[in-house]
Structure 1
């Protein structure tokens, strides 16, 4: 009885190619999606406010996770919309449902991030 073949390990070159493809996807979203650009600008404003108010390490962690959550949700939303458009170019109730649910997930992420931002920044604002 022969032993099962062990699949080859991915090469460093394939890892770098995956990173390049991921960066290309982010850049595509930035160029083509108005909401992603708006959320990116808001993220920069939040990071600058964190620097300005000298937030604690834990507050930085909360802000970075919140920003990452929103941008990731928007990227998933963009990907889902593209796949739905490809699979169903005509208007269909299930296509609308998929797009609406994906947009709803992004909205929940954005509202959650806004609440976290208020929790972090309100004490700093009231102290000044």
Structure 2
């Protein structure tokens, strides 16, 4: 398929992958710089990494526990992106803008709840 048919002009192949990687790193840096929640969750991930490798757990339990924390960071990144776009549109209050932000926040809450449940289930099952 030619570039004109794809609907998006630009690089293809390896050059596109390199550009996408650069943009992703820029996004991670911006999130870390401007979003306190991302910084807090990165600290949580570091603590979680130390804990899961200190505890006597099966590899799949470690993966599940760390995976849920990574999931929280992913959802937080998406929530931060939603908030940035809503804020970019304008400072005035709008029902749909508020709803978008609330739903993004709810997604973070669900991810955090899932992480908490997973950690509690594994730790209680393993050590109780």
The two structures share one fold, judged by TM-score above 0.5: yes
Give runs of aligned pairs for residues 31-70 of structure 1, distance below 5 A: 31-70=33-72
Structure 1 length-normalised TM: 0.85
Per-residue deviation, 1:54:
3.3
CA distance in 2, matches of 1:12, 1:111: 39
Task: From the CA coordinates, give the structure whose radius of gyration is larger.
Answer: 1
- After superposition, the C-alpha distances for 1:47-84 in whole angstroms (9 at most, x for unaligned) are 11001013211112212320221011100000000111
Q: Does 1:119 align with 2:121?
A: yes
Secondary structure (helix, strand or coil) at the match of 2:56 reads coil
The answer to whether the Cα contact below 8 Å between 1:53 and 1:124 also exists between their aligned partners in 2 is no
In structure 1, the residue matched to 2:2 is 7
Q: TM-score, structure 2 length as denominator?
A: 0.85
Q: CA deviation at 1:98?
A: 0.8
Say what the alpha-carbon RMSD is for the aligned residues. Answer: 1.7
Cα deviation, residue 115, structure 1:
1.1
Contact in 1 for aligned 2:48/2:66 (Cα 8 Å): no
Mapped contact 1:77–1:102 kept (Cα < 8 A) = yes
Rounded Cα–Cα distance in structure 2 between residues aligned with 1:19 and 1:54: 36
Structure 1: runs of 5 or more not aligned: 1-5
- State how far apart, in whole Å, the 2-side matches of 1:122 and 1:48 are: 19
* Runs of 5+ unmatched residues, structure 2: 4-10
Contact 2:53 2:62 in 1 (8 A): no
The separation in 2 between residues aligned to 1:25 and 1:106, in whole angstroms, is 18
